[in-house]
Each structure stands twice: as C-alpha cells, then as structure tokens.
Structure 1
Amino acid sequence: MGRAEERRARQRGGHRAAPRRRSSRAADGSGKSGIRRLFTWKKMLGTFLGLCLLGIGSFIVLYLMVDVPAGNAAAQRQSNVYKYGDGTILARKGEVNREIVDLSKVPKKVQLTFVAAENKTFYKDSGVDFKGTARGLLNTLSGKGKQGGSTITQQYVKNYYLNQDQTVTRKLKELVISLKVDRQKSKDDILAGYINTSYYGRNAYGIQAAAQAYYRVDAQDLKVEQGAYLAALLQAPSQYDWAVASETGKKLVKERWNYVLDNMVEEGWLDRTERAAMKFPVPDDPKGAPGLDGQKGYLVDLANKQLEQQLMDQEGLTQSQAESAVVDQGWTITLNIDKKKQTELERAVKSELTGKLDAKKRKVDGNVQAGAVSVDPGTGAIVALYGGADYYKHYLSNATRRDYQPASTFKPVILAAALENKAETQDGKQIDANTVYDGTSRHQVVDSGSKVGFAPPNEDNRSYGDITVQTAMNKSVNSVFAQMGVDVGMDKVMSTAKELGMDTKNMQAVPAQTLGSMGASPLEMAGIYATLNNHGKKVTPSIVKSAEKRNRTVEMPDPIGDQVISRTAADTVTSVLTGVVDDGTAKTSVADNPLRNGQQVAGKTGTSDENKSAWFTGYTPDLVTSVGLFGEEARTGKHTTLMGATGLIPGSGRINGGGYPAEIWAAYTFGVTDKAKFDLDTTQGAAVKPTNTPSYTPPTSQPPSQTPSSAPPTSQSPSRTPSQTPTSETPSQTPTSQQPPSPSDTPTDPAADSSPNPADQQ
C-alpha cells in the first residue's frame, strides 16, 4: 500500500487489515479445540438435565396414557367346584384349576407368610421397587433374561393384568399399572389378588386350589407352617414340590420355608417360641382333581344348565352370555344329589341291566341305553340321576334326552285331564276310575257320533270288551285312552300335560298323542309324576341346591310351585296307578319283588312299538323315579330296537316297561326308602275300596270296527326325533322262555288327517 492510500485510509478512520494466518488444523478440521468446545462441563450437565426432563416428561405421558386394563381372561378363569348335597366334593371342572376365595377366608398369619416371603415392605411401599425394576429393564435390554426383585403388587399386575413376557414394553406397563393399582386398591385387595392368581404347581392356581392339592384342606383351614410352604413354592413350584423334588430341591425349599418363618419373627408377625416349635409340613402326595367320568359329567352338565337358565331369567342374559358366566368361572355349586341314593341307583342299573349286556356276544346289547331320574316329591330335589354308561363314552345324557316316546307312561296324564276338567263320556257320564269303556282292539274313536279316523290296536290285538278305567290302566288298554282323550278334548289333555310339567311346544293336540307318541325325557316324566305324588302342587325337579361365587349367591327358584290340578284329581290318579303295580303290567317286577317291604307303590309301564323304548315311572310316598331304556345304534346314533337284548328270545324277546326298567326301579327304590302309605284324598282307585259297583254300559250306536283306519307303521327317521311308530307294552320278560301274550298298548299310526307331524314332536 502507498502513502496516498494510507492517508486516505486514515482519513476514513480505517486500518489496513493484517494478512490472515493459515492453520493446518483448521484446514483438515481435526483440531482438538473443537471437541473441547463441544464437550464442556456446562453442555454435558445441560444435556443430562435435558434427558432427565425428557424422561420425566415421557413417564408422565406414559402414566397418563396407560390405563389399568381389565383382567386378562386366563387369570379370571377358574374351576367350578361341584359338591354333593352333604358338602363333599363331587367334581372340579375347569381348564384352570383355580377357585378364588376372599382374603377373609385365609387366616391372617397365613396371609403374612406370603408377605414375608416376597415383599416385607409391602404394607409400606408404593407398589413398585424402582431399583429392582431398573435392574430388570437393564438385564432385559442386555439379554440377561429374567430378573427378580418385583413387589407383590407388581407380581399381581403381571399375573392378572398383563402376561409373563419379558419385554421392555411389558415391564414399563407393569411399572405404571402397579403405581396406579396401589393407589386405586387397598393392600388387602392386592394381596388377595396375588395369592389367588399365582401358580403353585400341581396344576393349582390360587391358594384354595393349592391348599387342596398339597394338604387336602380348604384355604381357611391352613396352618401357618403350611402357608409358609405354599409361599415358598411360588419361587419355583415344580422344583420345590416335595413329591417330585430332588434332594437339592428339598433342601432349597426347606431353606426357603425357614426364611419365610424367620422373616415373620423378625417383623413381629410370629412369636419366636411358636416358630421354634414348628416342624416342616410334608405335603400329601399328588392326587388328580376329580374328573367327569362315570355319572359325574351328566350331573355337572345338568347343574350348569339349570344355573344358566336361572341367570337368563334373573338377569336377562342370552344363552351364550349365561354359559360364559357359568362355565369355569369359579362357582361353588352344591347339588341336591344324595350320595347314597346316587350310588344305589348306579348299582341297580348295573345289577339289573348293564351287568347282563355283552356287546361282543350280541350286537343288540351294544345299542341299549339307560337313563333315570329320582326326585323327592316334597322338595323337588333331584336326589339321583343316571345319564348313561359313562360321560366320556356317551356324552348325550339319557336322563334329559327328549327324542324317545314315553309311550303308555302318558296315560295317567289323560286320566288327570279327565278328572280335573270333570270331563264326560260321549253319552254324558262323568269320567272317573269306575267309568266303563269299550276295550275292543281297534275300536273306532268317535266324537259327537262321528268317527275321528283313529282306531289304535291293543297289545297283540287283544280285545277286552267292557272294562273300567281302573282295569284299562292296569292292563294299559290303548283303545280306552284313545277314546278318553277325545272325550276330554285333546287341547285340554295337552294343556294338563303342560301344567304337570311336560314341554308341549310344537306338539299338536291330536288323538295320536294319547299313545305317548311325543318325545319326553326321564327328567320330564319324573316331574309329572312328582306333581301327582305331591297332591297336584307343581314340582319342577331341581339339581342345584345352591350356587355361590365369592360374595355372590344366586337365588334358585323354588322347585315346588302352585297347585296345578286339584288334590282330589292328583290323588285319584295315584290311587289308580297303585293298581298297575299290584294287579297289572308291573306286578311281577315290583309288587311281587322280594325287596318290597309293604310300601304302597304307584306307577306306570310303557313300551313303544318296534321296542325302541321301554319305561317304568313309579313312586312311593316319598320318592319318584323314572327309568327309561332306549335303543340307539352305537355307531350312528339312530333309533333302533331293543328286541333280543340280554339274550331274550328274538321275535318275542321284547324289553318291556314291566321288565328291566321296573326291575331297576325296584332294586333302587326298595333299597333307599321304606315309607309305606300314601295320604290320599279320594274314594276312587285301587288304593281304596270302591263305594259301589259300576253299572254304566257304553253306547252301542257305534259298533266296534275290526278294520284299522290307520296307515301301516313307518320306519324310524335317522334324526333324533321321537319315533312315529306306535307304542306297545307287555309284562316283564325273561331271557329263557317265550312269554304268553298279555294285555298292553300297541297302537298303529294314526290316519293321515290326525297323525302328528314328526317335526312337531321334538
């Protein structure tokens, strides 16, 4: 720069810039001075504080976003416990062996064993062990697997609200939910949830199942030392199960047991002297939970259905909702089943029937199904039930199935309808036990002088001429009751059937129903006859005595209902039915049975045509039992004949209602009851002496016709609907000789204009 330039610069007040120096570090960008400027202590502190604030903010957001969820389905599913009427356990049913109990049912010191084992600060902490959780998170991130240290609250949250996944997301949720649960629930609620959801080994979930699995007692009866063992188990259930533990495992669980009790002493929860006296409580050997084999499954299934129905009626639930509310939901259901009677019924079926069946020798023997229901008529309690050979072998209960004809066991309903409605014969005479009817086989049924197109035959087409209603019941004469049904009015007959307890939906009120051609179950028939035995007061058989779930008790309906027919009508039917036993189709098997000890018995036999079903429903003053035998093709389930079963002579070897069903009934009933006399309010029937001699003569304007008006029998549909073939009946069979013909009830199919539609007999 020249002088002139310098002068001009001074005049401007400026200075000539000094030439810049070039730095080799600036050129390559690797100088240490830049790093020092980036990682100053101020910046590092600021970054740390920023991360802390970010973490706190993120946690606050997480806390606000994560709600306490509903309990997971697996944690809520429990076993239902079913008990006999005397309180002993019948069965435990559930995918998860768990029965939740209130904390009040667990002794206080037993509660404290779990606190001493898992979380001594439980009653003081906020529900979270931050150090343990942080350690667990770091181990999860580093791949080191599970990490202990969780509080009881956290373990409860994991069991009940979340799952066992070892992920960062799950652990963070566990932390947040635990804090919220600790604020929302009491410590007692949390402890109760913990001991009820934890797994104890031996397929036992919850302290009640564990108490039963290891010590055969309820949780409320656990001793402190036993509770300490169960608390110790939670650390390693399989390893610490005394029955299968190695010597090392036994040593470890003993150490854990001592640790629990010593902690209790340290915390002041257990007296030192009491502790010193305690010995290690070796648990019982494992025992499989009661299953549903044999008859148990049938009993449990009916109990569930009746409880579900009550929830539907009380709470307006749908069938699906009711089932979900009952099955495996922790109910304790006490049944009305009498243990002794149940055993005796099973024994009677075996001794009188199933012990004589040999499917390898006779194919038909494999098609014989038996069902029975026994009811106390005074209470409506189902005291015994037989559903089939075994629940696992024949799932469908023969006690409740409705796809077979009750046959002549329906005849008492017709008489009850006649008496209740004060019905009259065609010539205006009131119907009672002494009324005389035409017992001619295939007698044309008439109504107001006109044929109705129905003329059922009697058994073996036998005609009886003029006989009383009492005799017609004794000998089960079809032609008499077919005419009586029309005299009463079939609409009134079906109405009475409904009042007595039969499900008559979709049943047509046609003369063919007088032959018992609808479908019915032993349960229904037991209810109908129990109502008759209960002097006309409705009996709806109930298997459920009580149903409880934690603090909830379901009020079951009273099995005894209103008066549905008059006492005189009901008692008259009972009186008439004593004649069936003492002088009719059940005489050999029941009246003359050597086990009988003077008891009065009323009952009715029934045998369907083609011998697809055979029945005896009978009662003493204090017990009603309906027994049914059904022919069911073992492989396909189609209805088939019972003919020839147990070696009875083919062609004549029919299994009749007066045979095996009545024999089962007698072997059972006479073994469990000895109440002798009915208390009857009637002057009619076989149980009382008639006051006069019947003099009524039936009308002769309609001569009996020997030409049947019915169509020939049709074959059985393979579907489970009652057979539309006619019903029949003969007295008891013997397997060694052909039986002579005897009075009974074999109808033909009704004519087309009066035949029930098969679809209407479900």
Structure 2
Amino acid sequence: MKSFFYFLFLSLILSVSLVFSFIAYISVDLPDLEQIGNKRVSQSTKIYDRDEKVLLYEVHGEEKRTVISFEEIPKTVREATIAVEDKNFYQHPAFDWKAILRSVFIDVFYNKRVGGSTITQQLAKNSFLSSEQSIIRKAKELILALRLEKKYSKDEILALYLNQIPYGGNTYGIAAAAQTFFNKDVANLTLGETAILVSLPQSPTYYSPYGLHKDELFLRRDYVLDQMKKSGFVSKEDGEEAKKEDVVFAPQSAGIKAPHFVMMVLDYLTEKYGEDMIENGGLKVSTTLNFNLQQIAEKTVKEGAESNFNLYKGRNAALIAEEPETGQIVALVGSADYFDVENEGNFNVAAQGLRQPGSAFKPFAYLEAFIKGYTPETVVFDVPTEFTTGKPEECPALVDFNNDNKKCYHPENFDNDFKGPISLRNSLAQSVNVPSVKTLYLAGLDNTLELAKKFGLTTLEDKSRFGLSLVLGGGEVKLTELVNAYSAFAQDGTLHKQSFILRVEDGKGSALEEYRDETSQAAEPQYVKILNDVLLDTKARSGLFHASLSLTVIPDYQVALKTGTTNNYIDAWTMGYTPNLAVGVWAGNNRREPMERNGSSILAALPIWNSFFKEAIKNYPPETFTKPESSVAEKPILKGDYLFANQIHNILYFVDKDNPRGLVPQNPENDPQFYNWETAVLVWAKNNLPNFESYNKSKEYNYSTTNEKIFSVKIETPSGGSFIKGTQKITAKIASTLPVKKIEAYINQKVVETKNGDFGKDFNFSMSVGENNFDLQNLVKVKAYTDLGEAEDSVIVYK
C-alpha cells in the first residue's frame, strides 16, 4: 500500500513537471507582454471629400482596417458580440471551462465541432497564431489569453477584438466592415445592420452578403437578435422590429468615388509618403473635392460625351472646376467613364493629357499686348495675310490659299470669312485667327511664353518649337494648368497655387500637412481687368456664337468665357469663369482621332460647360468683376480710328510694336512683317473703300506734325510679377513729343532716384537699386516730366 502511494506521488510529481516543461517549451517563441501591446496593426488610408462626409476611397495593403477606440464602438455592437461570442466575457478569467467541456463533449460524442473559445482566446488566435487544429496551438492560445487578461482590462480586450477580427475578404475590424457592407460610419449602424455584421465573423465567406448564402446570413442575424434578447440587451419588440428592417447593402464594386481625382491624389501621396505608409499607415486625407459638384460633373461629362459621339464622333470629355480665390479643385472628371478600359477611360486627360488648347491660348497673347500698351479698341486688319517673310518667291505677300508649301504660313479663320478692320476686343471675343496671329507678333512670342509661364503653364518651355501659330494652339498644355491660369484671370492676375489636399493626418490623428494658400502676381491687375472686360463682353462675343450665345450666358452672373478648337478638330475647349468659380472643359478622343468638322468647341465643349456651370454656380453668390481704370490712348489707331487724316495702313505704320504709345516709326518698312501686312491691307482697302485713290495722297502721316501729344513711359526691367534677388537694375523707355526735363524712380511710393536735365524726346532711363530697398511685395514706378505734363509706368515685383 505504501509503495502504491509512493508511486502515485512520483507520478503526480512527474506529471506536474511534464506540464510545466510543456508550458515552458511552448512559451519560448510566444510574444512577451510588451510585444503584444506594441504589435503593429495595419490601418487603411482613407480619402475623403472636403466635408469629410463622403469616403472617396480606402487604400489598404493586405488588410482593410480602421482602428477605433472602445468609446467609439457603439454599445449595441459590443453587446451583440458578447451575446453570441462570449456571454460570460466579463466574468471568466480568460477561458470558460464550461464552454470548453461542452465543446469537447459534442466533438467526442456527436463528431461535430462547436466553438468553445472566449473572446480573449479568439483575439490571441487571430492576432498571433495560425488556425491549425492541434493541442500545441490550443495551449499557446490559452497561455496568450491569460497574458492578455493580465495586461489589459476587459474593455480594452473587447476593443482590440472588434478592431482585428475578419469580416470577409480583406475587411478587418467593425469600422471597416460598416463602410464595406453599408457605406456608413459604425456610429450610424441600425440594430439590424449591427446584428448582420456581428453574424459575419463566425464564417465570413459563407455568410458574405455578396455570396450564395444570403438567406442563411439573415437567419444568423435573427439568431444574434434572439441572443441579445436573452441576455437582456434588447427588448423583444426592438428585436422583432430589427428583423423586419429593409437592409440595403452597399454595391460590391471597386469602392471608389471620383476615380480620376482619387488616383491623382494617390499619385501625390505615394510620391510624398511612400507606398508602405499609404497602404498601412492609416492616413486620413481630406481633399478639396465638393462631392455634390463632382456628381454633377460626372453626369454632365458622361451625357455630353455620349451626345458628342452620336453627333461628331467624339467619345470623350474632361472637366475641372476650381475656386479662383483659393486654387482648390472642387470637381475633376478625367474621362467620360473611368472603367471603360477599351477606350482608355482610366487615362486622366484633365491632369495627364497634353493637348493643344487652340484659341483658348489667345488670351495670353492679348494680355501681353495690353501690358505693352495696346488697347481693346486698337484696330488690326482681318485680311488674308502671309506671315512668312523673306521668301517672296515661295510665299508671296498676296496670299494663295492653294499654296500648300509648308514653309509658308497664311492661316484662315474658322468660318473662312475675313472681316477687314477689327478691334482687339472683337477679334479676341470672336476668336478671329488672323488678327490673333498679328496680336501675338505685336506682343512678342517670347514675352507671351514668359507670361504664360507666370500664369502656371509649365509645358511650353522649349521656345524653339513655337512660332506665330502658338496663338492658335500650337503648343500642348494640361487642362489642370489651363484652368488654374484662367482662375488667375478671375483674380485679376493673382495666381493661387492649385491644390487638391486640405489636410493629411497620420494614424494617430497628427497633422502631416495642411492646405496653405500660396500666391504670386502673374501680371498687373489693371491689364488683367482689361482682359476680363473683353472676355465677359456678351455683345462682343455674339458675332461668334450666334444661336449658341445663350449657352455662354448665366442669368444674374457676369461670366467671362473663351473657347478653342485645334486643327483637324481633334481638341475642343471651353474655359469660363466668374470671380469665384472657374471651369474648363475639353472634348475629343483619347487616341486623338479627329471629330467631324462641325464638332467645334461651340458644339462639342460648350454645351458640357454650360450644363455643369449653370448648376454649379448656384452654390456661389453673384459677384461682379472689377472694371479696369479708364485709360485713353493718344494715337488714333489705338482708339479705333484706322482712317485718321485720310490714311489707310496696317498698324505697323503707326506704332513701334514694342512701344505702341511711343513715337511713330520713322522707317516702318524696317519691320520684317510690314510689307506683307501693308500689301494685304491695301488690297482690302482698294476693294472696299469708296474713292480709295484719295487715300494716302498727302505726305506720310507723322504725329509730330499734328496737335497729337505723345508722352509715354514703359518699364522694361524688372517685368511685372518677377522676383528680386540681389541688386536690381531698373530700366524704362521714355517717348515724348516734347523734351523730357525730369525723371523720378519710386520703390513703394518712396523716391529712390531723381534726374534733372534735358533728356530729349526719346530716352532710355537706367539705374540700380540694392536689395535692401525692397520688401516682400513692391510697387516699382518710373515717372517722367515735360514742361506741360507728366507720365508714369509701374509694375509689381516680389522679393
């Protein structure tokens, strides 16, 4: 007997030793408590609209997850989970021995597996272990569960569990599940929706609402509600009402809204923060997108492209809407259908496409002309004109439109009609080609390209590629940049850096970046105001739009507008803006197939623009443009009088193209374009002026022999909107019919240089100013005096 108890004692000691040895063995590679607490949980990056109410897209790696605190998890979610997963969760230590015995009994006698694991055990398994069925894995699960219970409170364990369990596919955690299956925040779940989500973790694939067992899912939902009633979490009435809910699941799709916009945002985020941070860092991205306007834009572009395809064989379109006061993009559609892979619908024409802007580029040339001193009333001649010079044998001054020599350049107008004398106002508003080419020449190709660069166009750097055809859209631009430039027009020349991000937060809610308005003055406000005054002139543009004029008018709003069409009708554009909204539309084909000839910008792009703009502008109060200050030019040709003193000539006869308000050229024929322009004008005059022989009979017209007073100052350096660095040279060209006696230079209304003397009638002023004389923004002014008056010029520059 004594030997038996001794043997029993040794067996007990050995068994205990084996148990502890087993526990020690399997605990070697288990994570310690600190590893459990610091385990990294991947979180999805979420991209929202500007109000943070619409989730545009969720970016995730292998797991789509949103971590929320215990307090943010609705009480009904916590109670439903406890009711079906672990009724005694708040009473047991880490495991429920009754549940384990019950599970073993059913497994042995009925060969049927039922769950016996507590919520803590499930958390341990899902977080750190595989799903293999073995004694070792189960033992590890129990040890980890005990450690979890020792380190964390019950509330913390429940929160960890609800943030990590799988709900199907790559959706992990209750917050991500609410978005995936119901497209709503977890706080807004109904009782019935809550019961459905709590039903999923038992078998996510089997119970998937997008699978073949939807009926079984609803039975499982009813079971969850019944268990909640038994546990006292809901009343019988509430449970039965929840069973009758009309549950609507979110469509199973790519889960992306505003796809072209979102992909543009993702490109930016990935480049700045890296792929791993985007997929796993849990960034919260608030964008500038107005989702209501975005929906209008998508509908408008889709319907417009469908109409264009039926009418003109143009199957695609793009649209951008921007708020000029901030530079923030509020709507962007890159193609008619992002998911139309066959027609490259996922290509973002708005942000990635390089397209010729056609006449939509003309305002830059006209603005540069206004800066030089030309006026909207200035007259040029819309007549057949050869712009290639020095090759009279190949490209004669008398245009032959059958001459297809590629060395020659004699553009035609859209309507194949020539209007004769026309003001810059009407030629721009009606988008007349020949006067626009002449305006580019007068403004200067290099100057115009430099001005376009100041307005944010970055794709026209190689000046050697361009000639006078640039003004008809000979260079490629991006719609994003063109809209941003037109937004600067709307702000009288102030360019706000374009933005599509309001705020980016990391997974802990700390701000990584926030929107900051960055501005630059691309041109002096006075000249941009002149340009706006032309582009919003409905009467002036009526000669182009005719029956479509109503599409350019928005009741109660002043709208400036410009259209454009490229050669062969490949690209069509409409750019329109008020002081608080700028919208650009492109229409055409992704693969650059030409539209049918009548598919011009008026017919292809304008209806899309109008359809969107008239709805979108309702979100903004009516706002008027600031009128330009009155300025009277002395020369008749700059005031619209092209027959003054019985003279009929092209404009180069009366003005130095680089100083139009200065003295009349003594030898205008020295200008390389003069002969061709003059020949074309005289041919027109002969055919259209009665008594043509009576013109140009007197001696050559000279302003100095009349009472006409010429007095002008033109600052040549620095140019408006430029930046000062180091010592700055200030130069100005002064022209006068009377001797200049005094010259003053000002920086921010303070005189920095005074010169007295007899400077003659044509003088080049020059001086240098140290950098310490300049502030961040500066008004540079040069003023000249004669015995009878004064004249001045000024520019804005930055330090």
TM-score range, shorter chain: 0.5 to 0.7
**Aligned residue for 1:518?**
475
Deviation at 1:642, TM superposition (A): 0.9
**Aligned residue for 1:399?**
350
Determine the C-alpha separation between the residues in 1 that align with 2:276 and 2:159: 27
Determine the C-alpha separation between the residues in 1 that align with 2:568 and 2:348: 22
Instruction: Judge conservation of contact 1:442–1:705 (CA < 8 Å) in 2.
Output: no
Task: Specify whether residues 575 and 53 from structure 1 end up closer, same or farther in structure 2 by C-alpha distance, changes over 3 A only.
Answer: same
Residue pairs, 1:716-755, within 5 angstroms: none
Deviation at 1:526, TM superposition (A): 1.8
Give SS of 1:639's match.
coil
**Aligned residue for 2:737?**
none
**Aligned residue for 1:470?**
425
**Aligned residue for 2:239?**
279
**Aligned residue for 2:411?**
457
Residue pairs, 1:532-547, within 5 angstroms: 532-544=489-501
Determine the C-alpha separation between the residues in 2 that align with 1:594 and 1:703: 36
**Aligned residue for 1:745?**
none
In structure 1, give the amino acid aligned to 2:376.
Answer: A
Residue pairs, 1:709-720, within 5 angstroms: none
Give SS of 2:605's match.
helix
Determine the C-alpha separation between the residues in 2 that align with 1:323 and 1:473: 47
Instruction: Judge conservation of contact 1:336–1:383 (CA < 8 Å) in 2.
Output: yes
Please give the per-residue CA displacement for 1:8-57, whole angstroms capped at 9, x wherever unaligned: xxxxxxxxxxxxxxxxxxxxxxxxxxxx99x9667645643542453243
Deviation at 1:617, TM superposition (A): 0.9
- Which of 40, 62, 81 pairs up with 1:114? 81
Please give the per-residue CA displacement for 1:122-143, whole angstroms capped at 9, x wherever unaligned: 457665668988999999999x
Instruction: Judge conservation of contact 2:305–2:336 (CA < 8 Å) in 1.
Output: no
Give SS of 1:194's match.
helix
Task: Specify whether residues 604 and 134 from structure 1 end up closer, same or farther in structure 2 by C-alpha distance, changes over 3 A only.
Answer: same
Give SS of 2:161's match.
helix
Deviation at 1:496, TM superposition (A): 3.0
Give SS of 1:619's match.
strand
**Aligned residue for 1:726?**
none
Deviation at 1:568, TM superposition (A): 2.0
Scaled by the length of structure 2, what TM-score is found? 0.63
Please give the per-residue CA displacement for 1:52-78, whole angstroms capped at 9, x wherever unaligned: 4532432453347898489999x8464
In structure 1, give the amino acid aligned to 2:367.
Answer: A
In structure 1, give the amino acid aligned to 2:289.
Answer: N
Please give the per-residue CA displacement for 1:385-408, whole angstroms capped at 9, x wherever unaligned: 333332211221333332321122
Deviation at 1:630, TM superposition (A): 1.9
Give SS of 2:28's match.
helix
Residue pairs, 1:243-642, within 5 angstroms: 254-263=222-231, 265=232, 275=235, 278-280=238-240, 281-282=242-243, 283-289=245-251, 291=253, 299-306=258-265, 309=268, 316-318=272-274, 320-321=275-276, 324=279, 331=284, 333=286, 336-339=289-292, 341-346=293-298, 348-349=300-301, 354-355=306-307, 357-358=309-310, 365=313, 367-393=314-340, 394-419=345-370, 422-423=371-372, 430-437=373-380, 441-444=384-387, 455=409, 457-459=411-413, 467-478=422-433, 480-482=435-437, 484-485=439-440, 490-504=445-459, 507-508=462-463, 511-512=466-467, 513-544=470-501, 551-552=508-509, 555-558=513-516, 561-579=519-537, 582-583=540-541, 586-588=544-546, 590-593=548-551, 596-597=554-555, 599-632=557-590, 638-642=591-595
Deviation at 1:259, TM superposition (A): 3.0
Deviation at 1:659, TM superposition (A): 2.4
Instruction: Judge conservation of contact 1:140–1:167 (CA < 8 Å) in 2.
Output: no
- Which of 597, 617, 633 pairs up with 1:673? 617
Deviation at 1:370, TM superposition (A): 1.3
Deviation at 1:657, TM superposition (A): 1.7
- Which of 87, 106, 111 pairs up with 2:53? 87
Task: Specify whether residues 64 and 400 from structure 1 end up closer, same or farther in structure 2 by C-alpha distance, changes over 3 A only.
Answer: closer
Task: Specify whether residues 347 and 309 from structure 1 end up closer, same or farther in structure 2 by C-alpha distance, changes over 3 A only.
Answer: closer
Instruction: Judge conservation of contact 1:576–1:684 (CA < 8 Å) in 2.
Output: no
Instruction: Judge conservation of contact 1:434–1:468 (CA < 8 Å) in 2.
Output: yes
Give SS of 1:502's match.
coil
Deviation at 1:84, TM superposition (A): 7.6
Determine the C-alpha separation between the residues in 2 that align with 1:149 and 1:113: 17
Instruction: Judge conservation of contact 2:196–2:218 (CA < 8 Å) in 1.
Output: no
Task: Specify whether residues 577 and 172 from structure 1 end up closer, same or farther in structure 2 by C-alpha distance, changes over 3 A only.
Answer: farther
Are residues 1:658 and 2:615 paired?
A: no
Give SS of 1:627's match.
strand
Which protein has the bigger strand share? Answer: 2
Give SS of 2:29's match.
helix
> Which stretch shifts more, 585-594 or 382-391?
585-594
Determine the C-alpha separation between the residues in 2 that align with 1:219 and 1:151: 24
Instruction: Judge conservation of contact 1:531–1:539 (CA < 8 Å) in 2.
Output: yes
In structure 2, give the amino acid aligned to 1:336.
Answer: L
Give SS of 2:652's match.
coil
Are residues 1:102 and 2:69 paired?
A: yes
Deviation at 1:599, TM superposition (A): 3.7
Determine the C-alpha separation between the residues in 2 that align with 1:623 and 1:347: 19
In structure 1, give the amino acid aligned to 2:609.
Answer: W
Instruction: Judge conservation of contact 1:308–1:322 (CA < 8 Å) in 2.
Output: no
Task: Specify whether residues 62 and 374 from structure 1 end up closer, same or farther in structure 2 by C-alpha distance, changes over 3 A only.
Answer: closer
Instruction: Judge conservation of contact 1:501–1:527 (CA < 8 Å) in 2.
Output: yes
Deviation at 1:532, TM superposition (A): 0.9
Determine the C-alpha separation between the residues in 2 that align with 1:407 and 1:506: 18
RMSD over aligned CA atoms reads 5.0
**Aligned residue for 2:796?**
none
Are residues 1:208 and 2:154 paired?
A: no
Please give the per-residue CA displacement for 1:452-508, whole angstroms capped at 9, x wherever unaligned: x99562436866666543233234345555555565555543343233232337544
Instruction: Judge conservation of contact 2:356–2:473 (CA < 8 Å) in 1.
Output: yes
Aligned positions, number: 617
Structure 2: gaps of 5 or more residues: 391-406, 643-650, 654-667, 678-799
Deviation at 1:655, TM superposition (A): 1.9
In structure 1, give the amino acid aligned to 2:577.
Answer: Y
Instruction: Judge conservation of contact 2:47–2:262 (CA < 8 Å) in 1.
Output: no
Instruction: Judge conservation of contact 1:72–1:162 (CA < 8 Å) in 2.
Output: no
Taking every aligned residue pair, what percent have the same amino acid on both sides? 22
Task: Specify whether residues 43 and 347 from structure 1 end up closer, same or farther in structure 2 by C-alpha distance, changes over 3 A only.
Answer: closer
Determine the C-alpha separation between the residues in 1 that align with 2:88 and 2:209: 29
Are residues 1:693 and 2:623 paired?
A: no
Determine the C-alpha separation between the residues in 1 that align with 2:246 and 2:64: 18
Please give the per-residue CA displacement for 1:279-319, whole angstroms capped at 9, x wherever unaligned: 331243342437469xx65x23323433652675xxx534x
Highest relative contact order (Cα 8 Å, sep 6+), 1 or 2?
1
Determine the C-alpha separation between the residues in 1 that align with 2:383 and 2:296: 42
